[in-house]
Amino acid sequence: MDDKNQETRQDPKPRARALLPIAIFLVLYLGSGVYFEYIAPQDGQMGFYVISVVVAFAIALIVAFCQNRRVSFDEKIHFCAQGIGDDNITIMLFIFLMAGAFSGIASAAGGVESTANMLLNVIPGSLAVPGIFVIACIISMAMGTSVGTITVLVPIAVSVAGSADLNLPLCVGTVIGGAMFGDNLSFISDTTIAATRTQGVEMKEKFKANFAIALPAALATLVVLVIAALTSGAPQLEHHDFNLIQALPYLIVLVASLCGVNVFLVLGGGIVLFALAGGITGSLTFASAFEAMGTGTSGMFETMIVTILVASISALVREYGGFAAILKFIRDHFHGKRGGMFGIGLLTALMDISTANYTVAIVVAGPIAKTIATVYEIEPKRTASLIDIFSCVAQGIIPYGAQLLVAASLAGISSVSIIPFCLYQFLLLVCVVGWIVIRGNKA
C-alpha cells in the first residue's frame, strides 16, 4: 500500500454509499421484525428475534466486502482485523465473557430471588409501587440486566396490582423503568461495557456523567409514584422467604462497583462469592456451578459475535468514507458542542429503534459517535453517557423491544398499553435534553 493511498484512507472523503451495509442491515432486520411481529406473527416467537441479528450483520458484512473494488480483498481483511483487534473491542469481549459467567452462577445460586425477596419484606404496603421501583433499580444495578430484572419482578407487580385494584400497566411500567435505570448505570451491564469501551473511558467516569442526569429522572419518577400510591389503596404484601447468604454477594458486588473497583475484579470476585454462597446454602454443587457459568457465557456468544461483525463492518465503512458522510450531515445540521450532543443522541436513538436492541445500537453507533465527539470536542465520558442514555430511552418505550414484550407477556397485557406508564424513560429524556440545553456547551 503506497503512502498516497495510506494518506487518502486516513482522511476519506464523505461517501454516503459507503453506508449501504448499515442500510442493508436495518432494512433486513427491521423489515423482518415488523413483518413477523405485526403482519405474520409466529406463535411463541417475538418478531424481532425470528431472523438472527448475527445473520443480518453477516449479510451486511458481505455487502461491505463487495463494495469499493479499488481496495483489494486482502486490504479489506486487514482493515477488519484492525477493527477487531482494537484494544477496546478486545477488552469488551473479555468483559462480556466474564459477565456471562457471573450472571449464570448468580442466577443458579439463588441470588436474584433472595435479594428481591429480602427487599420486598421491608416495603410498607402503602408504598408498594414506589418500593417496587426502588427494588427494580437496585436489582438491575446488581444484576446488570434489565430483562432479567423484569422477569423476576413483573409477576410480583401483577400480584400487587391485583391485591389493591391498582392500574396494572402502571405497575408493570414501574418495574421496566427501574430496570432501565439500573441497567443504564450498572458497571456489569453489557450496555455500559459497550458504551465505555467504544469511547475508551473508565466506567466510573461514565457512571458519574450518567448519574447526574439519571438520578433527577429517578427521583422525579419516585415522587410521582409516591403521590399516586398515597392516593390509592394499600395492597397487602405477603412475606417472602430469602437467604441472606445468597443475597450478600450481590450487595458486595454493587458496593464494589460503586467504589470504582476494576470491573474484572468485581466480576471475578462476584463469581467466587456466589460459588461459595451456593456451596454453603446447598443451591450449588461443584459441577452445577461450572455448568451455570458455562450456560451464562454461552448466552453472551451472540453479543460477542455481533461485536466482532460490527467492528469489521465499521472498519470498512470508515475506510470507504461512511463515517465522514455521517459527520458531514451532522455538521451541516447541528452546530456547536450542544448540536453535536443532540446529533449523537439522535443517531443512537434511531439505531436502537431500528435494531430493537440497545447493546447492538451502542456497538454500531459507538465508533461513529466517537468521530463526532472528536470534531465537536465532546469529552469521551460525556459521549459514553449520551449513547447509553439515549439508547436506554428508546429501548424502554418501543413496544417491540425485548423489555416491553417480556413484561407484557408475563402480565398478560399488550406492550403498547404499557408505554404511557413508562414514566422514568420519559422523564429521563426530559432530563437529558434539559441538561444538553442548559449545560451542553460548558461540559
Nearest in space to 403 (alpha carbons), one of 169, 188, 150, 42:
150
Quote the domain boundaries for residue 55: 15-67
What pLDDT, on the 0 to 100 scale, is given for residue 11?
64
On whether the CB atoms of residues 90 and 199 are closer than 8 A, the answer is no
Residue 41 inside a domain? The answer is: yes
Residue 94 inside a domain? The answer is: no
How many angstroms separate the CA atoms of 191 and 391, rounded?
A: 9
What pLDDT, on the 0 to 100 scale, is given for residue 181?
94
Residue 93 inside a domain? The answer is: no
Residue 20 inside a domain? The answer is: yes
On whether the CB atoms of residues 194 and 359 are closer than 8 A, the answer is yes
pLDDT tens per residue, range 290-304: 999 999 888 888 878
What pLDDT, on the 0 to 100 scale, is given for residue 29?
81
The residues, ordered by sequence, that sit 6+ positions from 172 with a Cβ below 8 Å of its Cβ are 154, 157, 158, 161, 407, 408, 411, 413, 418, 421
Dihedral angle sign, alpha carbons of residues 421, 117, 131, 162:
positive
Residue 256 inside a domain? The answer is: no
Nearest in space to 396 (alpha carbons), one of 208, 207, 191, 139:
191
Residue 230 inside a domain? The answer is: no
Mean pLDDT by 10 residues, the chain (443 residues): 45 84 85 81 72 87 92 93 83 81 86 76 76 88 80 78 78 93 86 89 89 94 89 64 85 78 83 93 92 89 84 88 83 86 90 77 87 90 94 87 80 84 95 90 68
Which cell is 197 given?
469501551
- Alpha helix positions (H), 231-321: 244-258, 263-281, 286-298, 301-320
Residue 39 inside a domain? The answer is: yes
Residue 49 inside a domain? The answer is: yes
Number of domains forming the structure of the chain = 1
pLDDT tens per residue, range 383-426: 999 999 999 999 999 877 778 878 887 788 878 889 899 999 99
